[in-house]
């Protein structure tokens, strides 16, 4: 209860007009940057850093936080309307959001993403406020060994996302692993598959591939679609969000928020992996998994709730331990230092009113974003009325600028276009794009953590089962893989997923 | 090329690609002392791609694989035209600057996608193609501080 | 692009240096009297908000605040290629005294690993204005109270950012000096290294002063030794490796500035003057030294050049030992 009182004081402190204005500024900028394809929270926070540092004190961090969670709201917009992931964590939103928009339910999908973002944000803040100390201990318990086990568990859940032909699904996953290897290998310092180009030395940015593979490929393949039948099937009603969807997706919202929070806390894992896990889990435990990917609100709710709560989870190591667990929080830590605070275990004890005011601003900003985005939703969805001969050039131009801005590199724009071209071939030949993207995100995490573990243990494989958390996760992995098989052998069809997929 | 033929071709190429990954993996070194080296994952991934693609090739050759309709010639031509227009525009950025290159690419893509006839279309497309890059320039350069490449003429 | 053009038109005076005549297109140096005549571009090869970015922007800010030069310094982030893209952009401006960059670990390691077409030889060292030592720490819960206690255990692990880093280098040096084995586990960022250390997944750490300070004040980490030649004013209680009897282990990161190769000597002298004023200023102390717990120290161009060469040699030896390069 004491915590609640502290948070309430924080919220009151954050209603100070100056602080509130900075919060809203951050949230709006975040919304915009999140919606621009390619640019995500890291770029957003970095861009706002010099501006925000000038505000000083609580206002500065309230503003940077606003950019962070604002971009989580914004990422869904282009994912749903155009099938172009606005930033890395919103890739999974494309899977059901874009089909919904194509069915004429863009407003419902956007509305669901707003509800999901809000619920995820709310539960994330609750977790940040109430659980940060015990949870930071849990985050530290995850070393390379536990991470390896976690990634194996993730991959076992993700097997449901494979697509129709299981062989092609695994080829796509392997191709994703390969793309993840491009660049300087951080464990041995060997450059791999860079073709001697320094543009590839740092590896492929996830957004570059995802924007091309999902976004541009979707555009390239629908160049003919709207020629004969104009997009007139949208009605005004379909542009409005539906409150009932929030009720319908309550379980996905809850499960996505909790999962996103705990995955987000882990240093180095990040919101993208959280959304993938959340989507896969929702599909895995659903009674009707075959509907996922065809455009249902549950498929939008699960990842969107996860990415928002993950963004608050990721702030826990920063505020309680002074450890930036992700690129975005590393930049936020720069912001804390710039305003003269030393992030770390002492922050809570030495500057409690600062911390609570910042948390208060998160709560206010999250609420404000709901109204902002709900008001914007019909307006944004109306973009689909624009004939493709005008809309597509505009969208492609935005993609080009957005991808360019990731590293100020035209080379990256080339890569995105090539990925778009490759995406057409993959889609036409039934190679699913989702496993490829998963491989690109999870592959490096898996490879690096296995190798880190074995450096620590000097090649001894037993460590993987000697540590309790790792052992538990490996057992869970085996169960996820074996139970469907077992049930199948028993001649029962309890988990329909495997019938549909294998 | 029919979609089936393309499927066979890609599967065959992937078998070769997988073998190449194994080859490069051996070059990077599978083990580094007692721990896996930079080449271990490429070897595993390469073998998987080669093996699975061999299965896919067999299925494709045997006609076991059911695929969608593929792309019509017209559709493929449009997609190719858009991709080429984009690549040319990106290639031209150092000379024309990003703003002009984007304007030309947008106009080009719009013409490829043209659905209606009459002068109204050209006026609108021209307006869209000129305005969008300017708005984006203001947004990215002035608001977000991204150094947008300029042409030799200075804009 | 436009830049090369302006240059050719803008400055055609010949100040006559045989050295430069060789480079046909190179810009002829301006006499010190009217230098600098236009704004200086400061290329930051890393993203906004990181350590290099903060350093570069603080230096630029202090110079501006103290009005040490008549023109502006324009910081520009050019990221990618582990620093290679930004540093190449500077090196390309051979002989042009209107480009600046700060040095970092990647300044040495990326070229050595073959990831960059330019190396430290393609730059003119100007001066260094601070040095950042490393502090060897163990978690407070560990049994090791002082450096020599480590000898009781034959093997340790430490976390580093990247394979070839100062932490990895120091792990190697400490292993040799103490007769123990400290294996480096490469992580993807300083945050991950700290998490691994606090979580007990690695046993020892070699940390930046500001990282170490935070956790030491909170009582989570215990310092064993510092890598500077003398005790740091910010950490008067931490003994140096040198005074503990390991004189070989002296390694700090110099915070310094470089320009493209072949800039005239007058320009170097000019910047030595500017940077000396920065190094001794109150602003620099307040905005950087006190914030990051660095050691204030001015090193002139000649001395800085020696340090760059020595640092490069250390990394090169280490990479050869690891079998990364021949």
Q: What is the largest CA-CA distance in chain B?
A: 72
In three-state secondary structure terms, A66 is helix
- For A462, which DSSP code? T
d(CA C224, CA C54): 28
Domain-located, residue A327: yes
Average pLDDT, chain A: 86
Asked if pLDDT for residue C238 goes beyond 90, the answer is yes
Over residues A472-487, the mean pLDDT reads 85
Over residues C249-278, the mean pLDDT reads 92
Of C81, C163, C188, the CB nearest to A201: C81
Check if the beta carbon of residue A267 is closer than 8 Å to that of residue C192. yes
Weakest-pLDDT range from A354-368, B70-84, C12-26, C261-275? C12-26
Q: What residues in A contact B53, CB-CB < 8 Å?
A: 171
| H helix and E strand count, chain A | 25, 2
Domain-located, residue A477: yes
Check if the beta carbon of residue A498 is closer than 8 Å to that of residue A486. no
Burial B68-80 (b: 16+ CB within 10 A, else e): eebbeeebbebbe
State the distance between the two ends of chain B, measured CA to CA, in whole angstroms.
Answer: 44
β-strands C73-77, C40-44 pairing: parallel
Domain-located, residue A370: yes
Average pLDDT, chain C: 85
Q: Quote the minimal CA–CA distance from B106 to chain A in Å.
A: 5
d(CA A362, CA A58): 11
Over residues A441-461, the mean pLDDT reads 90
Q: What element of type H or E holds C135?
A: strand C135-139
Q: Which residue has the higher pLDDT, A346 or A275?
A: A275
Asked if pLDDT for residue B78 goes beyond 60, the answer is yes
Domain-located, residue A33: yes
Model-level pTM greater than 0.90?
A: no
Confidence tier at A269 by pLDDT (50, 70, 90): confident
Domain-located, residue A494: no
Long-range contacts of A459-463 (CB under 8 A, 24+ apart): A459/B33, A459/B34, A459/B35, A463/A145
Q: What residues in B contact A218, CB-CB < 8 Å?
A: none
Asked if pLDDT for residue A98 goes beyond 50, the answer is yes
Confidence tier at A59 by pLDDT (50, 70, 90): very high
Weakest-pLDDT range from A124-138, C6-20, C180-194, C256-270? C6-20
Q: Given CB atoms, is B94 within the 8 Å cutoff of chain C? A: yes
Selection from C323, C268, C316 nearest residue C111 by Cα: C316
Q: If you search the block for the tokens 């990040």, which residue do you land on? A: A270
Q: What residues in C contact A316, CB-CB < 8 Å?
A: none
Q: What residues in B contact A221, CB-CB < 8 Å?
A: 71, 75, 79
Average pLDDT, chain B: 88
Contact residues for C5 (Cβ-Cβ < 8 A; gap 6+): B152
pLDDT digits (tens, 9 = 90+) for C289-320: 988 899 988 999 999 999 999 999 988 988 88
Asked if pLDDT for residue C54 goes beyond 90, the answer is no
Confidence tier at C78 by pLDDT (50, 70, 90): confident
Using CA atoms of A66, A68, A73, A78 in order, give the dihedral in degrees to the nearest 10: 130
Whole-number pLDDT of residue C3: 35
Q: Which tokens is C47 given?
A: 């993203």
pLDDT digits (tens, 9 = 90+) for C214-231: 889 889 999 999 999 999
Over residues A321-325, the mean pLDDT reads 83
Over residues A97-115, the mean pLDDT reads 88
| Contact state of A452 with C78 under an 8 Å Cβ cutoff | no
Whole-number pLDDT of residue A364: 93
Q: Which tokens is A144 given?
A: 């390379």
Check if the beta carbon of residue C263 is closer than 8 Å to that of residue C91. no
Check if the beta carbon of residue C64 is closer than 8 Å to that of residue C278. no
Over residues A325-346, the mean pLDDT reads 83
Signed CA dihedral, A378, A365, A118, A336: sign only = positive
Signed CA dihedral, A323, A329, A330, A336: sign only = negative
pLDDT digits (tens, 9 = 90+) for C100-131: 999 988 899 888 888 788 899 999 999 999 99
d(CA A395, CA A239): 20
Q: What residues in B contact C6, CB-CB < 8 Å?
A: none
Helix residue spans in chain B (DSSP H): 3-28, 40-61, 73-112, 119-137
Q: If you search the block for the tokens 């006609």, which residue do you land on? A: B63
Asked if pLDDT for residue B72 goes beyond 80, the answer is no
Cis bond upstream, residue A37 (ω within 30): no
In three-state secondary structure terms, A236 is coil
Structural domain total, chain A: 1
**Pick among B5, B65, B107, B113 to test the A interface (most A CBs inside 10 A):** B113
Signed CA dihedral, A94, A256, A501, A155: sign only = positive
Asked if pLDDT for residue A277 goes beyond 60, the answer is yes
Instruction: Give the number of other CB atoms < 10 A from CB of residue A393.
Output: 27
d(CA A59, CA A24): 10
Whole-number pLDDT of residue A491: 63
Q: Which residue has the higher pLDDT, C202 or C50?
A: C202
Among 1.10.3720.10, 3.40.50.11540, 3.40.630.30, 3.40.190.150, name the CATH number for the domain at C35-132+252-321.
3.40.190.150
In three-state secondary structure terms, B120 is helix
Q: Given CB atoms, is C80 within the 8 Å cutoff of chain A? A: yes
| Contact state of A397 with B98 under an 8 Å Cβ cutoff | no
Whole-number pLDDT of residue A234: 56
Domain-located, residue A501: no
Q: What residues in B contact A455, CB-CB < 8 Å?
A: 35
d(CA A246, CA A114): 9
Check if the beta carbon of residue A304 is closer than 8 Å to that of residue A117. yes
In three-state secondary structure terms, C197 is helix
**Pick among A166, A429, A442 to test the B interface (most B CBs inside 10 A):** A429
Q: What residues in C contact A331, CB-CB < 8 Å?
A: 47-50
- For C240, which DSSP code? B
d(CA A46, CA A323): 17
| Contact state of A429 with B53 under an 8 Å Cβ cutoff | no
Weakest-pLDDT range from A83-97, A257-271, B56-70? B56-70
Selection from C215, C134, C120 nearest residue C167 by Cα: C134
Asked if pLDDT for residue C29 goes beyond 50, the answer is no
Confidence tier at A500 by pLDDT (50, 70, 90): very low
In a 13 Å sphere around the CA of A223, the CA atoms on its Cβ side amount to 26
In three-state secondary structure terms, C133 is coil
d(CA C127, CA C255): 9
What does chain A come to in residues?
502
Confidence tier at B69 by pLDDT (50, 70, 90): low
Whole-number pLDDT of residue A57: 86
CA closest to A201 among chain C residues: C81
Q: Quote the minimal CA–CA distance from B117 to chain A in Å.
A: 12
Asked if pLDDT for residue A56 goes beyond 90, the answer is no
Burial B109-140 (b: 16+ CB within 10 A, else e): bbbbbeeeeeeebeeebeebbeebbeebbebb
Q: Which tokens is C318 given?
A: 């280490």
pLDDT digits (tens, 9 = 90+) for A197-246: 888 888 888 888 989 998 898 888 887 665 444 444 556 666 677 888 88
| Contact state of C1 with B154 under an 8 Å Cβ cutoff | no
d(CA B148, CA B138): 10
Residue C175 CA, chain-centre distance (Å), reads 24
Over residues C82-107, the mean pLDDT reads 90
Q: What residues in A contact B121, CB-CB < 8 Å?
A: 389
In chain C, domain spans: 2-33, 35-132+252-321, 135-226
| Contact state of C183 with A140 under an 8 Å Cβ cutoff | no
The helix-helix angle for A91-102 and A57-82 (nearest 10°) equals 50
| Contact state of C1 with B150 under an 8 Å Cβ cutoff | yes
pLDDT digits (tens, 9 = 90+) for B11-61: 999 999 999 999 999 998 888 878 888 899 999 999 999 999 999 999 888
pLDDT digits (tens, 9 = 90+) for A163-190: 778 889 899 999 999 999 998 888 888 8
Reported CATH class of domain C135-226: alpha beta
Cis bond upstream, residue A479 (ω within 30): no
Domain-located, residue A502: no
Of A171, A397, A405, the CB nearest to B133: A397
Over residues B59-88, the mean pLDDT reads 84
| Contact state of C1 with B147 under an 8 Å Cβ cutoff | no
Domain-located, residue A97: yes
Identify the chains in contact with C, defined as 3+ C-beta pairs within 8 A.
Answer: A, B
Q: What residues in B contact A231, CB-CB < 8 Å?
A: none
Confidence tier at A286 by pLDDT (50, 70, 90): confident
Confidence tier at C31 by pLDDT (50, 70, 90): very low
Over residues C70-99, the mean pLDDT reads 88
Asked if pLDDT for residue C27 goes beyond 60, the answer is no
d(CA B43, CA B28): 10
% of chain C beyond a pLDDT of 90:
57
% of chain A beyond a pLDDT of 70:
94
d(CA C241, CA A278): 49
Asked if pLDDT for residue A402 goes beyond 60, the answer is yes
The residue segments making up the domain with residue A195 are: 2-489
| Contact state of B35 with A459 under an 8 Å Cβ cutoff | yes
Identify any residues that bridge with C102 across adjacent strands, giving them in sequence order.
C257
Backbone Cα Rg of chain C: 21
Q: Given CB atoms, is C296 within the 8 Å cutoff of chain A? A: no
Weakest-pLDDT range from A262-266, C4-8, C253-257, C286-290? C4-8
Whole-number pLDDT of residue A236: 64
Asked if pLDDT for residue C25 goes beyond 80, the answer is no
In three-state secondary structure terms, A294 is coil
Whole-number pLDDT of residue A270: 79
Confidence tier at B146 by pLDDT (50, 70, 90): confident
Of A171, A405, A447, the CB nearest to B41: A447
Identify the chains in contact with B, defined as 3+ C-beta pairs within 8 A.
Answer: A, C
Q: Which residue has the higher pLDDT, C257 or A240?
A: C257
CA closest to C78 among chain B residues: B147
Whole-number pLDDT of residue C12: 34
Angle made by CA atoms A75, A81, A84, in degrees to the nearest 5: 55
């Amino acid at each position: 209860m004491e915590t609640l009182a502290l948070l309430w004081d924080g919220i009151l402190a954050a209603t100070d007009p100056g602080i509130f204005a900075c919060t809203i500024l951050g949230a709006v900028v975040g919304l915009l940057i999140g919606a621009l394809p390619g640019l995500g929270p890291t770029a957003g926070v970095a861009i706002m850093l010099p501006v925000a540092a000038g505000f000083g004190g609580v206002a500065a961090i309230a503003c940077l936080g606003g950019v962070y969670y604002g971009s989580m709201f914004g990422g869904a917009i282009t994912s749903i309307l155009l099938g172009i992931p606005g930033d890395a964590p919103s890739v999974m939103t494309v899977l059901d959001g874009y089909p919904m928009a194509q069915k004429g339910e863009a407003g419902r999908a956007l509305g669901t993403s707003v509800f999901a973002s809000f619920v995820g944000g709310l539960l994330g803040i609750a977790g940040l406020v109430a659980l940060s100390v015990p949870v930071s201990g849990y985050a530290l318990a995850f070393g390379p060994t536990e991470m390896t086990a976690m990634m194996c568990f993730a991959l076992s859940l993700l097997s449901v996302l494979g697509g129709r032909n299981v062989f092609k699904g695994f080829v796509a996953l392997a191709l994703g692993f390969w793309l993840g290897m491009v660049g300087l290998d951080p464990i041995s310092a060997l450059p791999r598959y860079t073709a001697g180009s320094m543009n590839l030395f740092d590896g492929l940015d996830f957004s570059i591939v995802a924007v091309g593979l999902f976004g541009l490929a979707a555009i390239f393949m629908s160049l003919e679609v709207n020629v004969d039948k104009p997009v007139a099937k949208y009605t005004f009603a379909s542009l409005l969000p539906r409150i009932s969807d929030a009720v319908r997706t309550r379980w996905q919202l809850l499960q996505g928020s909790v999962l996103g929070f705990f995955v987000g806390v882990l240093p180095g894992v990040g919101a993208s992996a959280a959304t993938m896990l959340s989507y896969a889990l929702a599909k895995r435990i659903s009674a009707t998994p075959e509907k996922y990917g065809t455009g249902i609100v549950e498929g939008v709710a699960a990842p969107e709730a996860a990415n928002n709560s993950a963004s608050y989870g990721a702030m826990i190591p920063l505020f309680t331990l002074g450890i930036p667990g992700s690129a975005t929080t590393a930049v936020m830590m720069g912001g804390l230092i710039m305003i003269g605070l030393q992030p770390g275990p002492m922050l809570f004890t030495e500057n409690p009113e600062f911390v609570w005011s910042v948390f208060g601003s998160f709560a206010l900003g999250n609420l404000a974003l709901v109204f902002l985005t709900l008001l914007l939703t019909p307006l944004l969805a109306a973009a689909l009325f624009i004939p493709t001969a005008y809309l597509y050039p505009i969208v492609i131009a935005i993609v080009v600028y957005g991808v360019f801005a990731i590293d100020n590199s035209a080379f990256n724009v080339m890569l995105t276009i090539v990925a778009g071209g490759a995406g057409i071939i993959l889609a036409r030949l039934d190679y699913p794009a989702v496993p490829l993207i998963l491989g690109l995100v999870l592959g490096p995490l898996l490879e690096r953590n296995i190798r880190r573990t074995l450096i620590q243990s000097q090649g001894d494989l037993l460590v993987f089962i000697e540590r309790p958390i790792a052992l538990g996760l490996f057992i869970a992995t085996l169960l996820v893989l074996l139970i469907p098989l077992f049930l199948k052998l028993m001649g029962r069809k309890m988990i329909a997923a495997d019938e549909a997929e294998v | 090329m029919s979609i089936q033929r393309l499927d066979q071709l890609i599967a065959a190429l992937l078998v070769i690609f997988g073998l190449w990954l194994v080859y490069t993996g051996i070059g990077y070194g599978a083990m580094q002392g007692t721990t896996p080296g930079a080449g271990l994952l490429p070897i595993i991934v390469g073998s998987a791609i080669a093996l699975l693609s061999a299965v896919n090739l067999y299925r494709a050759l045997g006609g076991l694989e059911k695929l969608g309709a593929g792309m019509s010639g017209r559709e493929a031509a449009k997609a190719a035209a858009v991709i080429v227009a984009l690549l040319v525009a990106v290639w031209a950025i150092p000379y024309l600057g990003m703003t002009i290159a984007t304007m030309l690419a947008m106009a080009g893509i719009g013409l490829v996608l043209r659905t209606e006839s009459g002068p109204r279309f050209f006026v609108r497309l021209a307006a869209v193609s000129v305005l969008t890059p300017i708005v984006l320039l203001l947004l990215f350069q002035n608001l977000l501080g991204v150094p947008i490449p300029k042409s030799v003429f200075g804009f | 692009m436009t830049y090369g053009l302006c240059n050719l038109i803008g400055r055609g005076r010949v100040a006559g240096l045989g050295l430069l005549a060789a480079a046909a297109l190179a810009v002829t140096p301006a006499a010190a009297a009217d230098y600098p005549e236009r704004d200086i571009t400061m290329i930051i090869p890393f993203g906004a908000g990181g350590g290099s970015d903060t350093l570069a922007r603080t230096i630029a800010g202090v110079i501006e605040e103290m009005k040490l030069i008549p023109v502006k310094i324009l910081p520009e982030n050019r990221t990618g290629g582990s620093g290679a893209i930004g540093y190449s952009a500077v090196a390309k401006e051979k002989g042009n005294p209107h480009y600046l960059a700060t040095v970092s670990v990647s300044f040495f390691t990326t070229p050595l690993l073959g990831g960059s077409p330019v190396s430290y030889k393609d730059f003119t060292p100007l001066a260094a204005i601070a040095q950042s030592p490393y502090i060897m720490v163990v978690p407070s819960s560990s049994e090791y109270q002082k450096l020599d206690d480590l000898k009781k255990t034959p093997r340790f692990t430490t976390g580093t950012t990247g394979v070839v880093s100062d932490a990895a280098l120091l792990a190697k040096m400490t292993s040799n000096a103490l007769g123990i084995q400290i294996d480096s586990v490469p992580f993807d960022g300083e945050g991950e290294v700290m998490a691994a250390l606090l979580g007990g997944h690695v046993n020892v750490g070699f940390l930046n002063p500001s990282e170490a300070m935070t956790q030491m004040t909170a009582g989570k980490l215990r310092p064993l030794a510092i890598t500077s030649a003398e005790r740091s004013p910010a950490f008067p209680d931490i003994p140096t490796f040198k005074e503990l009897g390991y004189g070989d282990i002296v390694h700090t990161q110099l915070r310094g500035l470089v320009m493209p190769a072949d800039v005239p000597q007058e320009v170097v002298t000019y910047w030595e003057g500017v940077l000396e004023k920065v190094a001794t200023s109150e602003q620099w102390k307040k905005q950087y030294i006190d914030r990051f717990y660095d050691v204030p120290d001015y090193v002139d161009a000649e001395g800085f050049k020696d340090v760059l060469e020595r640092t490069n040699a250390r990394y090169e030896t280490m990479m050869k030992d690891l079998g990364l390069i021949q």
